[in-house]
Amino acid sequence: MTLEFKDILVFTDGACSGNPGPGGWGAVVVLPEGIVHELGDGDRSTTNNRMEISGALGALSYLKSTPGDVRIYTDSTYVIRGITQWVWGWKRNNWKTAEGNEVQNKDLWEELSYLVYKRKGLGELSWHYVRGHSGVPGNERCDEISVAFSKGQSFRLYHGPLLKYDLPILDLPEPEGLPEMKSYNKGEKKAAYSYLSNIGGVVYRHKDWGSCERRVKGQSGAKFKKTMSASEEQEVLKSWGLAGAVIKES
């Protein structure tokens, strides 16, 4: 794969020893005019998820006034699912999970979602999954930066022409589907994105099963479905013959 001239290419990663413990994040930004900027920082007490988000934050903060389409590559399913799927439900629920718990890393998610919103007037932003430690130069470099900062080591970040950059950073991974995110807590169930109820073609979105059950209980012909993402919501509507229908909030 090659970098389209108009695109800004970004790789990000995060690392943490102890989780919580000392951590670091790294990012590599390649501008279409042929300039490479490496970014990174560390935190003495943090978590792996916070560092993964911080990598994306660092890159988008650097690009906050730079026009152009941006492609971000990360090995964090947590970051990709969080910013493309879960954040909408969190905002709708006043930054609470479907179970009513506080969203972890709310401060970082709020900042990241704001930067994503601000990019709308500058160009398209897309998120791409890259499998970690699979030999992809951009991902490997970000991991190296992240680990160095997590250990408090002195690290020289590159800023300069692409032609003098030692890595084949434009060797991009082949597209692949986003794998299921692993739970960090044994036995933890993945939170639902929503619960849909359908009575006579009128569809409501519920934040929990209890409110969905109350609407459909005893209703002849009622349909209901738990969904795990915005795209799955649309698939359910399609299966009900209601593609494109407006979903009301309960």
Q: What is the pLDDT of residues 12-46, one digit of tens each?
A: 999 998 778 999 999 999 999 999 999 999 999 99
Taking alpha carbons only, the member of 27, 35, 22 closest to residue 10 is 27
The two three-digit tokens of residue 58, written as one number: 């660092």
Count Cα atoms within 13 angstroms, Cβ side, for 106. Answer: 11
Q: What is the pTM of this model?
A: 0.71
- The alpha-helical segments, DSSP class H, found in the chain are 48-62, 77-81, 87-92, 106-118, 137-150, 209-216, 230-239
The mean pLDDT of 203-217, rounded to a whole number, is: 87
pLDDT exceeds 50 at position 1? no
Q: Where are the domains of the chain?
A: 7-164, 194-249
- Give domain 7-164's CATH number out of 1.10.3720.10, 3.90.105.10, 3.20.20.70, 3.30.420.10: 3.30.420.10
pLDDT computed for residue 182 by the predictor? 56
pLDDT in tens, 214-237: 898 888 888 888 888 888 888 788
Query: What are the catalytic residues?
Result: 13-14, 52, 75, 133, 143
Torsion region of 63: left, alpha or beta (phi above 0 gives left; psi -120 to 50 gives alpha): alpha
pLDDT digits (tens, 9 = 90+) for 97-110: 877 889 999 999 99
C-beta neighbour count of 143 within 10 angstroms: 20
Closest by Cα among 13, 19, 115, 132 to 70? 115
Asked if pLDDT for residue 86 goes beyond 80, the answer is yes
Higher pLDDT, residue 229 or 181 = 229
Tokens of 194: 């929503």
**Residue in this structure with the two tokens 């990598």, named with its chain if needed:** 55
| Distance from C-alpha of 131 to C-alpha of 64, rounded to nearest angstrom | 27
How confident is the model over 115-137, as pLDDT tens digits? 999 999 999 999 999 988 889 99
Are 51 and 22 a contacting pair, CB within 8 Å? no
